[in-house]
Amino acid sequence: MGPRLASEETPPEDLESLMCRYQRADEEAASALVKRVSPLLYRYFLVQASNRRYADDLLQETWMRIHKARHTYRRGEPPMPWIFAIARHTSLDHYRKARRFEIREKQVSVLPERAAATPRPAQDLESILAALPESQREVIVMLKVSGMTIEEVARATSSSAGSVKQKAHRAYRKLREVLSARGVFLP
């Protein structure tokens, strides 16, 4: 029998069945899953300006976490929200770690003659965002700090675009209140 034509090949296996086989330690399924999902995850990390230069590392860390947590995947559920939730947590953990490092390890070329009396913008941002509930803070950071779209945030948080918009709207309202209490008035 001669070589098969592309149209005669079997269709690619769906992600759910690959994930179920991966849970059973099927190496072929694991390889196929990594091959199919990695480009999506890589683009997800590239979209976030704060993670762009770490996209390769984040991709690898995400797959390590997926491997460790694969037993928590529930059969019958779509795997992409589960995978993107892990990617989101990996990204947020990396962002928080990098921010802590940047705040403590700020390099300067010339030392100032005396310490500045005004608080640093990063500290102001953190204190302003601290007024938000965690879910709203997460949405604002992903939208405004990481530069993700509403659809990407919805996908990453396993929620609807409407829910993301609602959290962002409530967060903006709360941020206006916090800023006006500090004497900063926005239009």
Amino acid 157: pLDDT = 87
Asked if 157 contacts 85 with a C-beta cutoff of 8 angstroms, the reply is yes
Torsion of CA 89, 27, 11, 87, to 10 degrees: 10
Tell me the pLDDT tens digit for each residue of 85-120: 999 999 888 888 877 776 666 566 665 565 545 555
Asked if 33 contacts 15 with a C-beta cutoff of 8 angstroms, the reply is yes
Amino acid 129: pLDDT = 80
Domain spans in the chain, listed from the N-terminal domain onward? 13-102, 121-187
Fold of 13-102: Rna Polymerase Sigma Factor; Chain: A (1.10.1740)
CA distances from 50 to 9, 55, 165 (A): 41, 10, 22
Amino acid 185: pLDDT = 65
Amino acid 5: pLDDT = 44
Amino acid 1: pLDDT = 46
Amino acid 96: pLDDT = 84
Amino acid 23: pLDDT = 94
Amino acid 21: pLDDT = 95
Amino acid 110: pLDDT = 65
Token pair belonging to 17: 């069945």
Amino acid 94: pLDDT = 87
List Cβ neighbours of 49 (8 Å cut-off, separation of 6 or more).
146, 147
Mean pLDDT for each consecutive 10-residue tract of the chain (187 residues)? 45 85 94 94 78 86 96 91 92 82 64 54 69 85 79 86 94 86 70
Supply the pTM of this predicted model. 0.52
Asked if 152 contacts 170 with a C-beta cutoff of 8 angstroms, the reply is no
Amino acid 7: pLDDT = 41
Specify the DSSP element, H or E, that contains 79.
helix 79-104
Fold of 121-187: Arc Repressor Mutant, subunit A (1.10.10)
